[in-house]
Each structure stands twice: as structure tokens, then as C-alpha cells.
Amino acid sequence: MPEAPELEVVKDFLVERAVGTTVVSAKVLKATVLRPLAGDFSIDIVDRMLEGVRRSGKFLVITLAGDRLLVVNPMLTGGFQWSVPSDRVFKRTCFTLSLSNGHELRYIDDKQMGRVYYVSPEQLDEIPQFTDLDPDVLNSEMTLVEFKERLRPFHGEIKGIITRGRVVSGIGNAYVDEILWDAQIYPFRKKKELKDDDLQRLLDSSKKVIIEATEEVRKVMGEEIHRKHRDFLKVHNRGGEPCPRCGNAISQLTANQRITSYCRKCQPGMLLRM
């Protein structure tokens, strides 16, 4: 799943390369990901200039001329590809925008789980989860008091709470593992068991890890904005490898197609409670 670091770099890439261009033509190959609430997508988007790109949590928002927005929630396997017309079109390509600078912006999605909304500004409230995205992990200056207040309505395991995006947005399954490892907090620990010093470490690590990851992604992504660049991650999906901090083997569990990776020594806790 693209998270704040990848989407932040993709946003900056598109601001530099795509903003100011005009959509010459649009071709829909797999319509299942599209939610065209503001008109016939392949017709209405033509001749509109791309005026801006911003990230909001795990969404990308492309502003188009004439009060149109392309709001992308890539979910697990979606993302944009920057191409020229001669590049091979992947089977997982859902739609293509041909731009006035000779490039194509393609949306690809292996499992077609993502959602791309073509809307007017007045229709943003119709996009699920979009209005619940503040504060963003990279932009927030949240205090511990504010963090505790935002956590208050939620119960259960801390990893699941953080990835919901309702406390702080932009963090998904991969980077929450990195954050919890950095903060030395067991991913299955109940929120009610966390003390103030635990929560302060969690808050500090959230921003620190995402900022550092964004810079790592920026170094290696180049024009391959459709690929995940995560070789630098310390624990996520590194089951059996030595922990970078203590050398203990990293533990890894998979449930509901989601991996959880952590160090039993650095992040002690009990998975099963009697």
C-alpha cells in the first residue's frame, strides 16, 4: 500500500512534471476503479489543465481546470505510472491520460482495489474516508495532550488504531511496523496499557520515521513512481533477519493478507493473553 512517504514523493514528481500540462485524451481500460461523479470521465477530462497536485493522508488529489478533481485512493496495489506512448501498457493499467507534453499518466492497479474519484469540489464529501484525514503525519505539530485526546475513542491493539487514519493520517501497515519498532512498542499491545512515555515515543517516532522514509524514497524513486521502494525498511517484511538494534531475529506474522513484523526483544509483549 502506498503510504505518506511514497505518495509525498509522487506528489512532488507530478507537481514538477505534470502540473501545467493539458489532458489531450483519456482512455479507460478497466473501469472498475473509477467513480466518475462529475461526468463522463473519458470525455469530460479532455482539454482540462492539471493545475495542482496535493497529498491528503493516503490520497492524492489532482486539481484540474474548470472545477474538477481527480482524487485517488490507491489502496493496496494502485499507483500512477509516468510513461511515454511507446512504453508497454501493463495488463493492470486501468486508464491512461495523454498529456500535452508528450507523456502519459497511467493509473495501474494489480488487484483493482483502489478507487479513483472524478468529482467537483462540492462532491468531496461523497468520497469515503476523505473528510477524516486531518491531522496528517507530515504536517502535524500535535502535542501529547492532543494525541491522547484523538486516541481516546479507540480501543484495542495500538497497531490497528494507528493504521485506521483517524488519529493521524498517512500511515499504513508497512510504516506502522517501522514506527512501533522505533518507539519500542509491541504492535499488539492494547491502547489502554500504554503510559504517557509510551505515547510520547509513539508520537515522536511517527513523524521521525515518516520524514526519514520520505527522504529515502526520494533518493531512489526517479521516474519509477509506480514501484514501491522499501529496501531501506528496518523490520517490515524482514522476518527472520537480525534486528538492526539488538540482533535478535525479527518475528513476522500474517493475518488478513497483512504482514506484521517486529522484534520480540526490543518490543516485548504476549500475543496470546490468558
Residue 40's CATH number: 3.20.190.10
Examine the domain organization and report whether 19 and 100 are in the same domain.
yes
Does the residue 269 lie in any domain? Answer: no
Q: Quick: pLDDT tens for 187-234.
A: 999 999 999 999 999 999 999 999 999 999 999 999 999 988 899 999
- Unique residue bearing C-alpha cell 507523456: 103
Cα 52 to Cα 227: distance, rounded to the nearest angstrom: 22
* Cα-Cα-Cα-Cα dihedral sign, residues 116, 118, 119, 121: positive
- DSSP bridge partners of 157: 190
Examine the domain organization and report whether 17 and 128 are in the same domain.
yes
Range of the domain at 78: 4-132
Q: Quick: pLDDT tens for 40-88.
A: 999 999 999 999 999 999 999 999 999 999 999 999 889 999 999 999 9
Examine the domain organization and report whether 210 and 187 are in the same domain.
yes
Ramachandran region, residue 258 (left: φ > 0; alpha: ψ -120 to 50; beta: rest): beta
Ramachandran region, residue 45 (left: φ > 0; alpha: ψ -120 to 50; beta: rest): alpha
CATH of the domain at 254: 1.10.8.50
| Number of Cβ within a 10 Å radius of residue 19 | 14
- Last residue in a domain, options 69, 103, 132: 132
Examine the domain organization and report whether 113 and 231 are in the same domain.
no
Does the residue 231 lie in any domain? Answer: yes
Cα 38 to Cα 53: distance, rounded to the nearest angstrom: 19
Examine the domain organization and report whether 68 and 118 are in the same domain.
yes
Examine the domain organization and report whether 126 and 9 are in the same domain.
yes
- Last residue in a domain, options 132, 158, 178: 132
228 Cβ contact list (under 8 Å, min separation 6): 2, 6
Quote the pTM value: 0.92
Does the residue 139 lie in any domain? Answer: no
